[in-house]
Amino acid sequence: MRLVHWSCPIAGTQFILGMAFLLPHLLVSLLIVLPISAVAQNNGNITVGRSLTATDNSSSWLSPSGDFAFGFRPLNENNDLFLLSIWFAKIPDKTIVWYANGDKPAPRGSKVELTADRGLVLLSPQDEELWKIDTFIGTVAYGVMSNTGNFAVEDSSFNKIWESFRDPADTLLPTQIMEKGGLVSSRQSETNFSKGRYQLRLLQDGNLVLNTINLPTTYANEAYYQSHTAADYAPNLLSPGRQLVFNESGNIYILRENNQQFPLAPGKARSADDFYFRATLNFDGVFTLYSHPRNSGSDGSWTPLWSEPEDICLFSLLASGLGVCVYNNICGPKADGTPMCQPPDYEWK
């Protein structure tokens, strides 16, 4: 650009007209481009072809609010194994609420990619398929990481091809609904995300149950908890359960076929604006509702609000012959209701 100089006889100041013309154009361009970029980065949409790689400084796909993130979390101190997961992104401990490959952790350098024909695919550094979403009909247009913690894969007509809410791991989140046939599985331990011995299921008859399975099979043993919401408990009086509902206020209830609610975890005087909620089937077989202050900084922690069963040790003699503490151990509850397993000669206080 040729710069034209002009001297103002009044002010005695020299202006550069070329820059004067250029700056307004730059400002207009920035006003147009910046909002579009901001939307692209914060609306939670993930375009086909994007990927994430498991490294020490892995990036993630955030929800618009920044409350949840989708990506890789390290599984051990050496950071050589990673879990494809969704977690609470704003609290210090980054609590994981969904995971895909607990039985087959991803080595460093693995990649998850959103593709048009296969959907969401997790590949090892050698291109071995470690996990993918269920087979589907159609073409993926984009992914969406929502403010509810749900990651969805959608087609160009906004139809959900797959979503993490319909494929839960060990945790349910507010606004999540479990239909008949739905299942939540515990993990092996606090740090081992392989499939554990416990299940939460909404049976086809409308009954919600907790049961153990005989690993490595999926054979379900007799339930150690049930909601008694199947029609055959009182066929002339009650309507069977249709859905397990977790609403935004932290209430968990079974919605019956006649739309009546059967409450499991009554809501407390806590606002979703001030608290996060989650309901987790813990590795010890206890299904627990927790809350966590949203703006707690480093001092916040998860507080149990309700659990079922209240004392898992009372239900330790299960049909499989294995209690919570397995062989040759005695179960006793801690102050928070979780079980503590000790040898038979332990002196309880």
Q: What is the DSSP track for 46-69? A: EETT-EEE-STT---EE-TTSSEE
Look at residue 326 in the predicted model and tell me its pLDDT: 55
- The contacts of residue 325 (CB under 8 Å, 6+ apart) are 316, 331, 339, 341
Looking at residue 57, its pLDDT comes to 87
**304, part of any domain:** yes
22 domain residue, yes or no: no
The torsion of the CA quartet 97, 98, 104, 108, rounded to 10 degrees, works out to -80
pLDDT of 192: 94
For residues 152 and 230, state if they share a domain.
Answer: no
Which pTM value belongs to this model?
0.81
CATH code of the domain containing 233: 2.90.10.10
Contact call for residues 327 and 314 (beta carbons, < 8 A): no
User: Does 243 map to a domain?
Assistant: yes
Token pair for 207: 């009954």
Strand, coil or helix: what is 90? coil
Q: Token pair 């608290």 is at which residue?
A: 275
Question: Do 280 and 340 belong to one domain?
Answer: yes
Residues 6+ apart with CB under 8 A from 23: none
Indicate whether 1 belongs to any domain.
no
Domain identity same for 330 and 199: yes
In this structure, the answer to whether residues 51 and 132 fall within a common structural domain is yes
User: SS3 of 127, please?
Assistant: coil
Distance CA 263, CA 251 (A): 8
- Domain range for 79: 44-167
pLDDT tens, per residue, the chain with 349 residues: 444 444 444 444 443 334 444 444 444 344 334 333 333 345 889 999 999 999 988 899 999 999 999 999 999 877 899 999 999 999 999 999 999 999 999 999 999 999 999 999 999 999 999 999 988 888 999 999 999 999 999 999 999 999 999 999 999 999 999 999 999 999 999 999 999 999 999 999 999 999 999 888 989 999 999 999 997 765 556 789 999 999 988 899 999 999 999 999 866 656 778 899 999 999 999 999 999 999 866 567 899 999 998 777 766 555 444 556 655 556 666 655 566 666 555 554 5
Whole-angstrom distance, CA of residue 166 vs CA of residue 162? 7
DSSP H or E run through 26: helix 17-42
In a domain, 253, yes or no: yes
Q: Domain check: are 163 and 202 in the same one? A: no
Cα→Cα distances 270→87, 157, 274, 308, Å: 22, 37, 7, 20
Same domain, 105 and 144: yes
114 and 204 fall within a common domain: no
Same domain, residue pair 88 and 216: no
Do the domain assignments include residue 6?
A: no
- Our CA angle for 179, 184, 187, nearest 5°, is 170
* Contact assessment for residue 41 and residue 33, using Cβ atoms and an 8 Å cutoff: no
Q: Residue 298: inside a domain, yes or no?
A: yes
Secondary element (H or E) of residue 184? strand 183-187
Instruction: Retrieve residue 252's tokens.
Output: 């968990």
Predicted local distance difference test score (pLDDT) of residue 319: 46
- Domain-ending residue, one of 147, 167, 187: 167
**200 and 74 in one domain?**
no
Say whether both 308 and 332 belong to one domain: yes
**Domain edge (last residue) among 167, 193, 228:** 167
Q: How many angstroms separate the CA atoms of 347 and 2, rounded?
A: 91
Q: Please give the C-alpha separations between residue 261 and each of 94, 179, 221, 233, 249, in angstroms, as whole numbers.
A: 33, 15, 28, 16, 15
Pair 137, 244 in one domain: no
Q: Is residue 106 part of a domain?
A: yes
**Domain identity same for 61 and 110:** yes
- Total domains in the fold of the chain: 2
Is the CB of residue 179 less than 8 Å from the CB of residue 202?
yes
Query: Where does a domain end: 145, 167, 189?
Result: 167
Paired tokens of 51: 């990927």
